[in-house]
Amino acid sequence: METDLKARAEAAVPKFKLLKVLNQDQAGRRVSLHGTIDNEPAVMVVERATFPSSEVYLAGLPSSLSRLRNLGANDIYAWSMARTGPVESEVKPDGDNGHENGVDFFADLKINLIYPCTEAHVKKYSKQGVRFVTETPEIYKNHIRPFMQQKREQGRLNWVFNIIEGRTEVEDVIYRTKLGEAGDEGFLLLPDLNWDRKTLEGLHLLALVERRDIWSLRDLKKKHIPWLQHIKSKVVSATTQTYPSIEENQLKLYVHYQPTYYHFHIHIVHVALEAGATQATGKAVGLDSILETLKVMGGDDEAGMDALSMSYTLGEASELWTDIFEPLKTSGAASR
C-alpha cells in the first residue's frame, strides 16, 4: 500500500498544470502554485532543497553550470546568477521575463565569489561556534577602537571607496548625491550583493555615506541626529521612487554591530524578507532605535553611542573573539 502511494505521488508531479502562482516567500526560495492534475485541483509548494554534502557533487558543481551572468564585481568580490539546468530547456516567454533586454535566462543559483581570498575570509565562512559578548565602553575604547583603526589602515575599505568615488559598480547605483558636492550629506544607494535584484520581497539595499569620519554606530552622537534623519528620509524616498510598488512602511532600516567593514552604511530591506542571521538580535540594530537612543541620551551634543555597553554575537574564528574577547575572558578582564 505504501509503495503504491509513493508511486502515485511521484507520477502525479509531472502532470501538474499551472493555473496561478499563489505566493513566493523566503525571499523567493519557495513558491506556492495552484493548478490541476488530471483535471483535479491541486496546490504544489516548491522549495529549493539543501545542497548535498557530497564533496564529489560539490567539486563538479562550478564546471557544470550551463549559464552564468555576472551582476557586479569590485576588487576581489564578484556576484552572479547561474543556471544548473540545460540551456535547451529554457523557454523564451512572450512578454517581459524580468531580466535585462528580455533575455531568455532563468537562474536557479546565486553565486558570490571572493578571489583571491584571505585567511580571514576562510574563517568567516567556515562552520564555527558562536559566542555572545558584551562590549563595554572601556573595552570599546581600549581594544575595539584600535582594532577598527588597524583594519582601516590595512586597506580593507578600498572596495568601498571604489564604489563611493565612482570607479566601480557605477551602473548599479540606484541613487547618489553628486560626488563631493553634498559634504556630510553625500551618500549613494545600491543593491546588496545578497539580493538577486528581482524579487522585491527579498529587497536588500545598502546606503553608503560619503563622509569617512563615522566608522560604525559607535561614532554617532547627539549632534548627528539631524544628519541621520536626513539620510533616512532620502534613502526611503530614493527606494520607493525606484520601486513604486513598495511603500515606506514596507521598508526596514538597520545597521550592523559589529559591521563587516568599518565605514558607516545602512541596510534597507523589505519587511517581508524573512529575518536570517544578519537581521537577528545581536547583529542588527534598527536605525529608528539608534535615533531614539540618541534623543533621550543625557549630556551635550558630544554624548553618543560610545558611552553604551553593546552586546552581540561573534564566531569563535573571528579576530574579535580570538584576539580580544577570548583573552579578556581568560584573564578575567572582560568588563574592562
Q: Indicate which residues carry an active-site annotation.
A: 265
> Cell digits for 125?
565562512
Q: Which amino acid is at 212?
A: R
Please, is 194 exposed, middle or buried when counting C-beta atoms within 10 Å of its C-beta (0-12, 13-18, 19+)? middle
Cell of 73: 564585481
Distance (Å, whole) CA 323 – CA 274 = 33
Bond into 258 cis (ω within 30): yes
Asked if 15 and 22 touch (Cβ cutoff 8 Å), the reply is no
Q: Under 8 Å CB-to-CB from 20, ≥6 apart: which residues?
A: 33, 34, 35
Given CA atoms 173, 176, 179, 185 in this order, what sign does their dihedral have?
A: negative
Which DSSP symbol is given to 302? Answer: T
